[in-house]
Every structure is written in C-alpha cells, then in structure tokens.
Amino acid sequence: MTPLLTTKGLSRNFGGLRAVDNVDFTLMPGEIRAVIGPNGAGKTTFVSLVSGRIQPSSGAILFDGADITGLPAYVRVRQGIAYTFQITSVFANLSAYDNVALPVQRTLSDGRSKGAVRAGVMSALERTGLAGRAHMPAGQLSYGHQRLLEVAMGLALKPRLLILDEPTQGLADSEIDNFIELVRDIAKNATVLLIEHNMPVVMQLADRITVFNAGRILAEGTPEAIRDNAAVQDAYLGTAP
C-alpha cells in the first residue's frame, strides 16, 4: 500500500534554530496518528510544512506518492490536505453557515445549485452539532463551539488527510468526550493527523503515536509501546507516571 504522506529529510531553520530537523515520516491511509512532544519540539512547524503554510529549508514531502514540496498551500488543500488552526481562526464576522459554505462551495463539482451548498453546509454543521446556530456570527459562538466550527470547516473540505492542531485545547471535559466521538467518525473516511497535549485523548484515539523532541522524531509506535518507552518518559512524560 502506498503511504498517504511521506516526508524525507524534512528540515526548517528559523535563523540559527532548527525547528524541524531532518524528519523522515510516514503515514498510512486510514490511520489516526497523534503527534506529541514538549512545547517547542517542532510539532506545529512540522504540520505547517506539510500543509504548505511555510516552506521547508530542505527535504521533500510526498502526498499519495506525488511530490508536493513546491506546491502552494491552496493547491495542497485542493488535493485533500486540510488544516485546522491551533489558534481558532474562524471568520468572526461571518455567520457559522457562511464559514462552512466557503469550503463546501469549493468542493462541490456540480457548480451552480444553491441547494447543494445548503445541504453540504447543514450536514457538516449537524455532524458537529452546530446546526441550531447556523445563522449566528461565528465570533459570538462560545469558544468550544468555535473549535467545533473549525473542525466543521475542515470536514467540509472532504479531506483525505485532516490535520488537527491541538483541537481539544480549552474545551470542557464533556465537550472533549463528544469531540473524541467526532474524530472517530471522521476517521471512517479520512486519515487524521492530530497534534495533542491531552494524553488521555491521545491514548483513546491514536492508532500510532509519533513523539517529537527538539525538531526530531524521538520515537514512534502504538500507544502501549510509547507509554512503555523509557526515552519518551524521560523527555516528555517526565519520571512520574
């Protein structure tokens, strides 16, 4: 089986700092992969390189076997790489409906019909439980709902790879449980790459875990293997259980 995403020797320097250092990474279709690591380990830089928001200093990125290293971000989105922002960046002055309509109208192939946009928007809003708030300006939604709207926008892109950057940050416990269900639901049709600090969420969701430290991959494996990995405990989980 062809990997959905491969990076070869991927690096990015900021001045003298190697934020991402020679990373070889492989992601198989259908996986839920969690990326964890201490703050400043290069996780967000890594997914920004994958999504095309920043350009690598060296190395290559392959998506479904094709080299996408030089492609601008919007083309990668069209090829199926969706990115949800770490800091919520919904269009605050537009309604929740319009926020989701933007990705929906672009992925529609039939062109004209207004009904198709409406159906697509409402289905994404229903999946995220926001249907009742469709006409509220996004900026007036609660923080948790804005995060969900962010996911709804990602979903509406019908991605093959959905990158979620710290999606549960700032969510209440009850919201987190719903969120885990939502990601499992999404993973039926898409591969998920998840940056997450909340370890219980990672342990429940991830098929495999990649641990970043100082811009490099420190370890990779199943949740159990990572939990038992002494180096990871040292670098990240600390010595306490």
Q: Which residues bind another protein (CB under 8 A)?
A: 51, 53, 72-74, 77-78, 82-83, 85, 89-95, 97-98, 101-103, 105-107, 117-118, 135, 153, 157
Cβ-count burial of 157 within 10 angstroms (0-12 exposed, 13-18 middle, 19+ buried)? buried
Between 82 and 202, CB nearer to another protein: 82
Between 97 and 179, CB nearer to another protein: 97
Neighbours of 228 (CB within 10 A): 11
Question: Cβ 13 to another protein, closest distance in Å?
Answer: 18
Between 69 and 95, CB nearer to another protein: 95
Question: Cβ 162 to another protein, closest distance in Å?
Answer: 12
Query: In the numeric block, which tokens belong to residue 236?
Result: 């990240």
Question: Cβ 186 to another protein, closest distance in Å?
Answer: 17
Question: Cβ 85 to another protein, closest distance in Å?
Answer: 7
Between 94 and 199, CB nearer to another protein: 94
What are the angstrom distances between the C-alpha of 5 and each of 8, 138, 161, 193? Answer: 10, 32, 9, 10
Question: Cβ 224 to another protein, closest distance in Å?
Answer: 34
Between 162 and 209, CB nearer to another protein: 162
Between 50 and 235, CB nearer to another protein: 50
Between 53 and 227, CB nearer to another protein: 53
